[in-house]
Structure 1
Amino acid sequence: MIRRQEYMRVMVATLVPMLLSACAMAEQYRWSGVERIVALSDPHGAYTALMKTLGNAGLVDAQGGWSGDSTHLVITGDLLDRGPDSRKIMDLVMRLEEEAVRAGGMVHLTLGNHEVMNLVGDLRYVSRSEYAVFAAEESGEERERWYQKYREQENLRSDVRLNELALRKAFEKSRPPGFFAHRQAFGSEGKYGRWLLQKPVLVVVNETAFVHGGLPPIVGELGLDDLNDQLRAEVSDYVRQAEVLIGYGLISPGASFYDHVELATSILSDDSIADDAKVALQKLIELNDARVHDSGSPLWYRGTVGCGALTEGDVIANAFGAIDAWRVVIGHTPTVTRQVLQKFDGQVIEIDTGMLNASYQGSGNALVIEGDTLSVINEAEPASVSPVSHPRRVGARDGALTAESLEHILAGADIVSSRTDKTERQIVELSRDGVMFSALFTPAPRSKKVNTELAAYRLDRLLGLDMVPVTVAREVDGKAGTLQFLPKNSRDEAFRTSSGLGGSAWCPLQRQWNSMYVFDALIHNEVRAANSMVYSPENWQLLLMGHSSAFGSKKDRPKHLSNVELQLTGTWLDALTALSDDVLAENLGDVLDKRRLSALGKRRDLLLREVEKLN
Structure 2
Amino acid sequence: MKETLLDVALAKSKVPSKATYLAWGLAFALLYLGLCESIYARDVYPEEPIQWQWQNIDRVVVFPDVHGAYPELVRLLQVSRVIDENLKWSGNNTHLISLGDLLDRGPQSRQTMDLLMRLQHEAAVAGGKVHVLAGNHELMNLVGDLRYVSKAEYREFASDESAADRENGYRDFISGTDLTFENQSQSRMAFEKMYPPGYFAHRDAFSVDGKYGSWLLSLPAIITVNDMAFVHASLPEMVSQHGLEKINQDYQTITRRYIELWHALIELNVLTDNPKENPELQAASRIQNSSPSDCLQSRQKDCLEQVQRNQLPTPVINTLKEFLALSEHPILSSDSPLWSRGAVYCRALHERPILDTALQKLGVQQVIVGHTVTADARAHSLHADKLIMLDTGMLIDYYQGRPAALIVENGKKLVQYLNPEEKLAPLHDQLPGSYGLSKKELELALTTAQITAIDKPTGAQLGVGGQWKVQLSHNNKNIMALFYPDDRLNTHKKELAAHKLDEVLGFELVPLTVSRTIDNNTGALQLEHPDSITEDSRIKNNTGIGGWCSLPRQYQLMYAWDLLTANSNRSASNIHYRQDLGLVYLTDHSKAFGQRKTLPKTLRKDLVILSPEVRAQLAILDEQKLQQAMGDTINKSAIRSLLKRRNAMLKKLD
- Is 1:112 the counterpart of 2:135? The answer is yes
With 461-470 and 64-73 compared, the bigger mean Cα shift is at 461-470
- Is 1:286 the counterpart of 2:306? The answer is no
Equivalent residue for 2:78, pick from 52, 55, 59: 55
Secondary structure in structure 2 of the residue aligned to 1:219: helix
Q: Which runs of 5+ in 1 are unaligned?
A: 1-13
Please state how far the C-alpha of 1:147 moved relative to its aligned partner. 1.0
AA partner of residue 263 (structure 2): E
Distance in 2 between residues matched to 1:282 and 1:449, nearest whole Å: 57
Query: CA 1:346–1:595 in 2, change beyond 3 Å: closer, same or farther?
Result: same
Secondary structure in structure 2 of the residue aligned to 1:531: coil
Distance in 1 between residues matched to 2:102 and 2:579, nearest whole Å: 28
Secondary structure in structure 2 of the residue aligned to 1:550: coil
Distance in 1 between residues matched to 2:483 and 2:94, nearest whole Å: 55
AA partner of residue 35 (structure 1): D
Residue equivalent to 2:353? 314
Please state how far the C-alpha of 1:523 moved relative to its aligned partner. 2.1
Secondary structure in structure 2 of the residue aligned to 1:439: strand
What CA deviation, in whole Å up to 9, does each residue of 1:36-69 have, x standing for no partner?
A: 2222211000011111221222211111111222
Distance in 2 between residues matched to 1:107 and 1:354, nearest whole Å: 21
AA partner of residue 622 (structure 2): S
Distance in 2 between residues matched to 1:361 and 1:207, nearest whole Å: 32
Distance in 2 between residues matched to 1:370 and 1:536, nearest whole Å: 40
Residue equivalent to 2:455? 419
What CA deviation, in whole Å up to 9, does each residue of 1:179-218 have, x standing for no partner?
A: 0000000000100000000111111222322111112222
Distance in 2 between residues matched to 1:321 and 1:71, nearest whole Å: 26
AA partner of residue 64 (structure 1): L
Determine if contact 1:42/1:78 at 8 Å carries over to the other structure.
Answer: yes
Residue equivalent to 2:104? 81
Distance in 2 between residues matched to 1:136 and 1:181, nearest whole Å: 9
Determine if contact 2:546/2:579 at 8 Å carries over to the other structure.
Answer: no
Residue equivalent to 1:36? 59
Determine if contact 2:346/2:548 at 8 Å carries over to the other structure.
Answer: yes
Please state how far the C-alpha of 1:519 moved relative to its aligned partner. 2.6
Equivalent residue for 1:505, pick from 537, 547, 550: 547
Please state how far the C-alpha of 1:498 moved relative to its aligned partner. 4.5
With 130-139 and 568-577 compared, the bigger mean Cα shift is at 568-577
- Is 1:480 the counterpart of 2:502? The answer is no
Please state how far the C-alpha of 1:594 moved relative to its aligned partner. 0.6
Secondary structure in structure 1 of the residue aligned to 2:585: strand
Residue equivalent to 2:535? 493
Residue equivalent to 2:304? none
Query: CA 1:187–1:432 in 2, change beyond 3 Å: closer, same or farther?
Result: closer
Residue equivalent to 1:597? 639
Secondary structure in structure 2 of the residue aligned to 1:487: coil
- Is 1:332 the counterpart of 2:374? The answer is no
Query: CA 1:382–1:479 in 2, change beyond 3 Å: closer, same or farther?
Result: closer
Please state how far the C-alpha of 1:497 moved relative to its aligned partner. 3.7
What CA deviation, in whole Å up to 9, does each residue of 1:485-528 have, x standing for no partner?
A: 11224211123345554553122222222332333233222222
Distance in 2 between residues matched to 1:104 and 1:381, nearest whole Å: 31
Determine if contact 2:229/2:368 at 8 Å carries over to the other structure.
Answer: yes
AA partner of residue 36 (structure 1): R
Query: CA 1:604–1:334 in 2, change beyond 3 Å: closer, same or farther?
Result: same
Residue equivalent to 2:389? 350
Secondary structure in structure 2 of the residue aligned to 1:374: strand
Residue equivalent to 1:378? 417
Please state how far the C-alpha of 1:255 moved relative to its aligned partner. 3.4
Please state how far the C-alpha of 1:470 moved relative to its aligned partner. 1.6
Determine if contact 2:496/2:514 at 8 Å carries over to the other structure.
Answer: yes
Query: CA 1:500–1:54 in 2, change beyond 3 Å: closer, same or farther?
Result: farther
Determine if contact 1:244/1:277 at 8 Å carries over to the other structure.
Answer: no
With 417-426 and 238-247 compared, the bigger mean Cα shift is at 417-426
Residue equivalent to 1:575? 617
Total equivalences in the alignment: 593
- TM-score using structure 1 length: 0.89
Please state how far the C-alpha of 1:162 moved relative to its aligned partner. 5.5
With 56-65 and 288-297 compared, the bigger mean Cα shift is at 288-297
Q: Which runs of 5+ in 2 are unaligned?
A: 1-35, 291-308, 461-465
Equivalent residue for 1:406, pick from 430, 435, 442: 442
With 281-290 and 86-95 compared, the bigger mean Cα shift is at 281-290
Equivalent residue for 2:579, pick from 537, 545, 560: 537
With 83-92 and 310-319 compared, the bigger mean Cα shift is at 310-319
Residue equivalent to 2:261? 241
Determine if contact 2:481/2:526 at 8 Å carries over to the other structure.
Answer: yes
Please state how far the C-alpha of 1:447 moved relative to its aligned partner. 7.3
What CA deviation, in whole Å up to 9, does each residue of 1:216-271 have, x standing for no partner?
A: 22222212112222232221111111221333344444434624432563387367
With 89-98 and 418-427 compared, the bigger mean Cα shift is at 418-427
Residue equivalent to 1:69? 92
Residue equivalent to 2:184? 164
Residue equivalent to 1:261? 281
Query: CA 1:501–1:581 in 2, change beyond 3 Å: closer, same or farther?
Result: same
Determine if contact 2:375/2:432 at 8 Å carries over to the other structure.
Answer: no
- Is 1:231 the counterpart of 2:258? The answer is no
Secondary structure in structure 2 of the residue aligned to 1:39: strand
